[in-house]
Amino acid sequence: MEKAEKGLNSSERDGEDRDTPLVERALAGDFAAFEQLVKKHQARVFYHAMKFLNRQEDAEDILQETFLHAFKGLSSFRGDALFLTWLLKIATNNCLMRLRKNKKMDLISLDKPVEINGSELPREIMDWSQNPSDQRMESETREYLDKAIARLPEDKRIVLLLKDVEGFSNQEISQTLGMSVAAVKSRLHRARLAMRDLLSHYFEEREINKK
């Protein structure tokens, strides 16, 4: 299975088996089939955009742009990755272009609440389901992880999100960010080292408190 599929949970991966006939029908000119794909994946794409932009209006724009680009470029979908993975790559590119355009790379603020319809909701974007040991992680630890990632510089934070949260491969991150694979690996290594430093004090305190 492609590395970029690691960020998808088991139900999403299982549901992808039913996407192939819909994609084939859409390619044959069946617009209703494409509408089914939109209804099936629009929530996942929307919350993916929220991770990067933290604004409902911007995420809604990205949602529309993503499916518009997907519809126009559907013939380029080769099927060597899951359809949802392909959609998330399009959404990521759209998010990054918007961030660059606005010159607001600090919009990825994981410690800030999400604003939806005038109400603030806590941000819960970390999905560690691909690692069984992380499934047992307490909510307190999850919250600290979110805050630790939020403290990373923007360039390291984006690479860490794409690699360790969404499960993109180094090659896909390279293509998405317009940098070499070697640069991706280097930046990811520095991001993980920074995360280790941020988390070390927290886990040391936890061990002390257990005694």
Encoding tokens for residue 12? 């999403």
Q: Which residue has the tokens 């993503």?
A: 66
Q: How many domains is the chain partitioned into structurally?
A: 1
What is the DSSP secondary structure assignment for residue 55, as one 8-state letter? B
Q: What are phi and psi of 131, to 5 degrees?
A: -115, 110
Residue 109 binned pLDDT confidence (cut-offs 50, 70, 90)? very low
Phi and psi torsions of 209, nearest 5°: -70, -25
Q: pTM (2 decimals)?
A: 0.60
Of 108, 74, 114, which Cα lies nearest the Cα of 90?
74
- Per-residue burial over 172-187, b if 16 or more Cβ lie within 10 Å, else e, is bbbebbeeeeebbeeb
- We report the CATH number of the domain holding residue 58 as 1.10.1740.10
For residue 209, the tally of other CB atoms under 10 A from its CB is 7
pLDDT in tens, 49-96: 887 777 889 999 999 999 999 999 999 998 877 899 899 889 988 988
Q: What is the CA radius of gyration of the chain?
A: 18
Domain membership of residue 33 as a residue range: 3-210
Long-range contacts of 55-59 (CB under 8 A, 24+ apart): 55/107, 55/115, 56/114, 56/115, 56/116, 56/117, 58/98
Alpha carbon distance 127, 27 (integer Å): 32
Q: What is the pLDDT of residues 189-202, one digit of tens each?
A: 999 999 888 888 76
- Token digits for 182? 């070697």
Q: What is the average pLDDT score of the chain? A: 76
Locate all alpha helices (DSSP H) within 54-82, ordered by sequence: 56-72
Residue 28 DSSP symbol? T
